[in-house]
Structure 1
C-alpha cells in the first residue's frame, strides 16, 4: 500500500447499516484504498438487540473497536453520515493519532466545549432493506458532557464537512449553521446530493473522499 493509500471506515446514520455504503465501497477500493463499512450496535445485521444497547458508547462500540484495532502506522479516514458524525467524533476524541481525517457527510458535527446532544433531523427512511429501530440516546450522560470533546484530541484531527446541497431533511442552511458552530472544518459541496448522498451522488462522493485521502497524511 503506497503512502497515499488510506483505510476508510464508513459509519451509517440512524436506523441504517453498512449496506447503505454499497455504491461507495468498490470505487474506493478500486482507487487503492482499504474500506470497512460497519454496522453500529443493533443496526444492519449486527447481532445485538436494541434493548442490549444501553448507551451511545455501546452503540458506537463497533467503530471504537475497529479504530483501536487498526494496525500501527495505518492511517484512517473516518466517514460519518448523519448521526454517524457523533460516533466518529467519539472515535476522534479517543484515538486522534490514528485518524488522518474525519469526514462528516451531511452529518452531526459537534464542536469542542459543547455537548453532543443537539442533532440534525433523523435520517430519511429511503429503504427498507435491513433497517432496524434505532435510538438517538439523547438521555445518555455522554451526550450532555460539555467536556467530552477536547481541542487536544478531537480538535487536532482534520475535519471535512461535505454539504449535500439538495438535502431536504438536513437542509443546506442547517448544514452551514453546523459548520459555523464548529469552525475549522474544510468544506466540500456536492450539487444535487440529497440526504443519502451515497445513493444519489455516489461517484461525486467518492471523488471527494479520494481527494481527502490524497490530501491528508
Structure 2
C-alpha cells in the first residue's frame, strides 16, 4: 500500500532590514525539497521591489507586499510566517490583521512586538541596551520633511562583516554587500502607534528561534524578549550568527520542519 503523502505547508519568509527575499536562497530549496510551498518575498523598497525608501513613511508602507500576500490567500489557506530580525515587526502587522490565516509565527533572531505597549517598545528597549559604538559604520540619515522627519538606516561593510555575517562564508558576505538596500526602523511611526493587541497579534502561536552567536541581536536580548513578551515555544540553533539561514541552513530547515509538523 502506498504511504499517505502529507500535504505540505506554505512558508512565508520575511527578511530583515537592508536585505531582501534573496537572503533565503539557501533555505528555500531545502524546504521545497521537503514538500512545502515557499514564498520569500521582498518587502517594499527591498530586494528587487521598485519602491525607494523615500516613499515609505510607516511600517505598514514597508509591509505592503506581505499584507497584500496575506489578503490574497484563500479564506481556508493558512501559512507559517517566518520573520528574521526586523522582519518580526512586519510579522506583527500580519498577525494582527490575519490571525485566522496563520498556523504559527516564527521569530528568527527577530524583534518581537510587545502587545498593548506602544509599538516601538521592543526597539526602544533594544536601543537602551545597545551602546552606540555597536552600530559601527551603520548610517542613520534623515529623510522626509520638517513636518514629518524620518530616518533611514543602511548597514556599513564593517557592521555586515562583524555583527551580521561573522560566521558566514566570504561569498555570502560579498552577495549581501552587493544587494543591500537602504531601510528604516520606522521609529517615528511606531512611537505614535499601537498596532499590536492581545486579541489579534497575541492570539497567534509564537515560536522564537534563538541564534546563540548573534552579535546584532545578542542572545541575552533574544532571551529578554522570550521571558518578557512570552512565546508558545523557544528553540535554539547553536553556532548560528545573525544570518542562520546562510551559515546554518540545514539546521534551520530541520527546526522549521519540526515546527511545521507540530503546529497543524
Greater alpha carbon shift after TM alignment, 2-11 vs 149-158: 2-11
In 2, the alpha carbon distance for the partners of 1:73 and 1:129 equals 39
In 1, the alpha carbon distance for the partners of 2:114 and 2:9 equals 25
Contact 2:80-2:102 within 8 A present in 1 as well: yes
Of 75, 78, 88, the residue aligned with 1:75 is 78
**Unaligned residue ranges in structure 2 (runs of 5+):** 128-134, 136-154, 161-172
User: TM-score, normalised on structure 2?
Assistant: 0.77
Of 226, 233, 240, the residue aligned with 1:186 is 233
Instruction: Please give the secondary structure, in 2, of the residue aligned with 1:128.
Output: helix
In 1, the alpha carbon distance for the partners of 2:60 and 2:81 equals 17
User: TM-score, normalised on structure 1?
Assistant: 0.93
Contact 2:208-2:231 within 8 A present in 1 as well: no
Quick check: which one's helix share is greater? 2
Q: In structure 1, what is the equivalent of residue 178 of structure 2? A: 129
State how many pairs are aligned: 215
In 1, the alpha carbon distance for the partners of 2:31 and 2:211 equals 19
In 1, the alpha carbon distance for the partners of 2:214 and 2:93 equals 25
Residues 144 and 24 (structure 1), Cα distance of their counterparts in 2 relative to 1, 3 Å cut: same
**Within-5 A mapping of 1:1-217:** 4-117=7-120, 118-119=122-123, 120=126, 125=160, 126=173, 127-140=176-189, 142-146=190-194, 148-217=195-264
Residues 43 and 159 (structure 1), Cα distance of their counterparts in 2 relative to 1, 3 Å cut: same
The two structures, once aligned, show a CA RMSD in angstroms of 1.8
In 2, the alpha carbon distance for the partners of 1:112 and 1:95 equals 15
Which digits, 9 at most, give the CA deviation of each residue in 1:31-89, with x for residues without a partner? 11100001110011101111111211010000001111112322200000000000001
Instruction: Please give the secondary structure, in 2, of the residue aligned with 1:188.
Output: strand
**Unaligned residue ranges in structure 1 (runs of 5+):** none
Residues 53 and 17 (structure 1), Cα distance of their counterparts in 2 relative to 1, 3 Å cut: same
In 1, the alpha carbon distance for the partners of 2:179 and 2:215 equals 23
In 2, the alpha carbon distance for the partners of 1:144 and 1:10 equals 27
In 2, the alpha carbon distance for the partners of 1:198 and 1:34 equals 17
Residues 53 and 203 (structure 1), Cα distance of their counterparts in 2 relative to 1, 3 Å cut: same
Shift of residue 30 of structure 1? 0.8
Contact 1:4-1:213 within 8 A present in 2 as well: no
Which of structures 1 and 2 has the bigger CA Rg? 2
